[in-house]
Chain A
Amino acid sequence: MSVHRTPPVLDVDTLIDDPRTKIIVCCGSGGVGKTTTAAALGLRAAERGRDVVVLTVDPAKRLAQSMGLSELDNSPRRIEGVEGDGELHAMMLDMKRTFDEIVEAHSDPDRAKQILANPFYQSLSSSLSGTQEYMAMEKLGQLHRSGAWDLIVVDTPPSRNALDFLDAPERMGRFLDGRFMKILATPAKTGGRLGVKVLTAGFGVFTNVLNKVIGVQLLRDVQTFVAAFETMFGGFRERADKTYRLLQTPGTAFLVVAAPEPDALREASYFVERLAEERMPLAGLIVNRVHAVVPHTPTAARSQAAAETLDERGEHPLAAALLRLHADRRQLAAREERLREHFTSAHPAVPVASVPAQAEDVHDLEGLRQVGDDLAGNRAAATARPA
């Protein structure tokens, strides 16, 4: 293997031990292990002495249960069973609740009540695309402002595009602050009838269509909502901008998580490039669920040939089966390694850490600890861990 394809090692312990590291963001495409990595890093940092809060989004049920998280509270809870000096708190993001809290915090009680009861608000706050990303950023901002934590580890919402985490809040802010919202607010404010008050030709057609297609009731809900919400409009964009800037400060470290698969690594590549454009600090790439091989074992071809020899002779069926298994595994490992090399040749300076696939889901502190050890490069014999 040529030297330039060997990436710098991502030194996770140095990163989490450094008191200047205040925020770690785990991002990546869907299902690659963002939540697992975030929880594992949080646990490791706490066990190495830091006071950590982990903000998770949609964790697997068993993991949430074993950490004692419930969907009921939108605030951090102390996790039991952490060894060492630090403390670990964790929470599960409740996006609707976070949205409601913003409304409550930024309008007087009557108006807040009116907004929260509005049918359009209710569907908006639970289904507007980008809301989850926006609220994750919002929660991050809140946790940061509270000053209660020494280190905040952030998981990002499941999305097929890793970039959504960066783009969606801005998109949503733009939507809420946008000119259509304002146009819509106009008739309700003036008490004018819909479609009568023609601002421009385009607008006249527009309300006309809205009226016909989506119906008067929904349009009215939208308008009451917009009118009540108006004082908060500018706020959304501002808040998104603020958190965005926080992500550009040196105390933040992005970890891009990927599975050793073409799609996931391609997404990781996009994300890395984007971070550079935005001047957001990248700490490195985590390749999760890799199949490492123990060095100095027979190659795939050799194992396959040996298995065939045994088959032909009708001898040692167990050894033959294990050799075939080993051949498969080496092939898989080689393919994964090639994919990783491909990433590294495009981004030679990005430090990389690999986490082996555990045989089972990661669903308790013990499993998280193992992932943490692996992240820090502490697994002695990668796969030859006797049961």
Chain B
Amino acid sequence: MEGLRAVVRTAVAWGRVDQGAATAGSGRLGGVSGITCMAGVRPEGPCGTDDIVSRVSARDTDWDGVRLHVVTGKGGTGKTTVAAALALALAAGGRNVLLVEVEGRQGIAQLFDCPPLPYEERKVAVAPDGGDVYALAVDTEEALIEYLEMFYNLKRAGKAMSKLGVVDFVTTIAPGLRDVILTGKTSEAVRRRNADGSFAYDAVVLDAPPTGRITKFLNVNDEVSGLAKVGPIRNHADTVMRVVRSPETVVHFVTLLEEMPVQETLDGIGDLTEAGLPVGGVIVNMEHPPMLDAGDLATAEAGGLDTDEIVRGLKAAGLEHDAEQTAAVLAAEAVDHARRTALQRREMERLAALSQPKYVLPLLPDGMDLAGLYELAEALREQGAA
């Protein structure tokens, strides 16, 4: 952890600026506002509270020492959902976790059933045994203006630019600038400390851009190489880069067991590794759990299920009516299921080539809701992801 301490010491102190601002009362930055949305609070978790507490202290997780968890994946695979579940899982045991969203979609608010989040850290949920999950929806324009004010003393400029709509323009011609600001905001939260020197957040989870953009997004030094060669932005990028490359950061990939998302995961991990960025785990989301044992699956896939036996079973269960036809339908459904399971297995095998730890989250049969989110969080904990 030596390198990390160095980061903190040499950091361009966005964190310190923030805390100063917060204590001075202008407080939008570092300060955490009052609790406004707590729809996520569930006094009793899906399992015994004591149970979790005892395990927290007793066990190691795969990511001990990691404080920034970046979550990426193909569009629609469940990045936002998994990031939120991971934040809940990490908070278990009474820890403070910040969940950051940068795509301006208010996905977190939707998930936790809150009104749209302002550009402010808000408590959105409590883990079953008392940890807190805070959320921050970073607004690119506000973050850019804030940045200009802080580093260039361009308060007026920021305002004027936003009036002219130039902010849009700047972030379009220099997307690297936007990314540096978003990653910078995130690493500031990672490094921020309380008055007693302890970290403000035990962990930060970033709901990041999709696989296709993640390497560029995190590789900020490369990104700003076309920008000003010296000055605040360069220093800032260096700080972000040190956080991103430190052993306290990992990038997790969310995937489905389907061809395209798995391919994107393999390609994405390759890109990230090549860029020297730290790959975390692979989280398989929305797995259709197998409903038949391995033997029956194999027989079904080969189309060889014993329909007579199925007919006898149906009759024994009191479903005499059209038992033969029903058996044929059930057998056909089993074939479908077996093929789908086999496809999942094949995609799982492609992932097996990766050395990263893998976690599997089931498809929640009734769609997503808060209870489901806690369920996914628990599954992540059981598998050692948090």
Contacts and interface: CB of A to CB of B under 8 A. Distances in A.
A284 B248 CA distance: 50
Contacts of B197: none
Give the size category of A's interface with B.
35 or more
Interface stretch (B172-180, B200-208, B239-247): B172-180
Given A360-B340, A386-B332, A321 B303 contact: no
A318 B343 contact: no
Contacts of B173: 120, 124, 214, 218, 222
B314 A319 contact: yes
Contacts of A128: 172
A193 interface: no
Interface stretch (A82-90, A103-111, A327-335): A327-335
Contact of B326 (A123, A297, A315): A297
B154 A209 contact: yes
Contacts of B334: 322, 325
Interface in A140-181: 158, 160, 175, 178, 180
A213 B228 contact: yes
A332 B75 contact: no
A318 B313 contact: yes
B172 A205 contact: no
A324 B291 CA distance: 8
A119 B225 CA distance: 12
A205 B343 contact: no
Contact of B339 (A120, A180, A319, A359): A359
Contacts of B161: 205-206, 209
Interface SS, B side: helix
B332 A62 contact: no
A262 interface: yes
A192 interface: no
Contacts of A325: 291-292, 330, 333-334, 337
Pick from B310, B319, B335, B343 the residue with the most CB of A within 10 Å: B319
B248 to A, nearest CB: 29
A384 B332 CA distance: 5
Interface stretch (A7-15, A232-240, A243-251, A304-312): A304-312
B40 to A, nearest CB: 20
Contacts of A310: 313, 316-317
Interface stretch (B16-24, B88-96, B163-171): B163-171
Nearest to A129: B172
B318 interface: yes
A81 interface: no
A69 interface: no
A321 B309 CA distance: 12
B76 interface: yes
A276 interface: no
B336 A319 contact: no
Contact of A328 (B156, B163, B318, B365): B365
A326 B259 contact: no
A65 B119 CA distance: 45
A160 B75 contact: yes
Contact of B313 (A202, A214, A216, A320): A320
A345 interface: no
Contacts of A387: 301-303, 332, 335
B330 A322 contact: yes
Interface string B296-337: 100001110110011011101111001001101111111111
B189 to A, nearest CB: 23
Contacts of A385: 332
B160 interface: yes
Interface in B322-367: 322, 325-326, 328-337, 339-340, 343, 365-367
Interface in A198-215: 201-202, 205-206, 208-210, 212-215
Given A222-B173, A316-B312, A316-B317, A329 B333 contact: yes
Contacts of B254: none
A19 interface: no
A214 B174 contact: yes
A361 B343 contact: yes
B148 interface: yes
Nearest to A325: B291
A213 B234 CA distance: 10
Contacts, number: 193
Contact of B291 (A180, A315, A321, A331): A321
Given A127-B175, A175-B172, A310-B316, A386 B335 contact: yes
Given A210-B170, A218-B227, A321 B296 contact: yes
Nearest to A303: B319
A153 B350 CA distance: 33
Nearest to A63: B259
Interface string A354-387: 0000011101000000000000000000011111
B76 A30 contact: yes
Given A326-B333, A328-B365, A306 B170 contact: no
A61 interface: yes
A294 interface: yes
A387 B340 CA distance: 13
Contacts of B228: 212-216
B172 A62 contact: no
A176 to B, nearest CB: 10
Contact of A160 (B76, B172, B174): B76
Nearest to A200: B164
A205 B156 contact: yes
A173 to B, nearest CB: 13
Interface in A213-272: 213-218, 221-222, 262
B343 A383 contact: no
Contacts of A331: 365
A214 B170 contact: yes
B291 A328 contact: yes
Contacts of B296: 318, 321
A160 B103 CA distance: 12
Contacts of B309: 316, 318-319
B148 A209 contact: yes
A68 interface: no
Nearest to A324: B291
Pick from A180, A309, A319, A360 the residue with the most CB of B within 10 Å: A319
In order of increasing CB-CB distance, the 9 nearest A-B pairs are: A319-B313, A316-B313, A359-B339, A215-B228, A387-B303, A306-B317, A322-B330, A384-B332, A387-B335
Given A180-B169, A315-B316, A326-B333, 13 more contacts: A60-B263, A158-B75, A178-B169, A180-B166, A202-B163, A206-B166, A213-B233, A262-B367, A315-B313, A322-B292, A323-B330, A360-B339, A361-B343
Interface of A: 29-31, 60-62, 119-120, 123-124, 127-129, 158, 160, 175, 178, 180, 201-202, 205-206, 208-210, 212-218, 221-222, 262, 294, 296-298, 302, 306-307, 309-310, 313, 315-316, 318-326, 328-329, 331-332, 335, 359-361, 363, 383-387
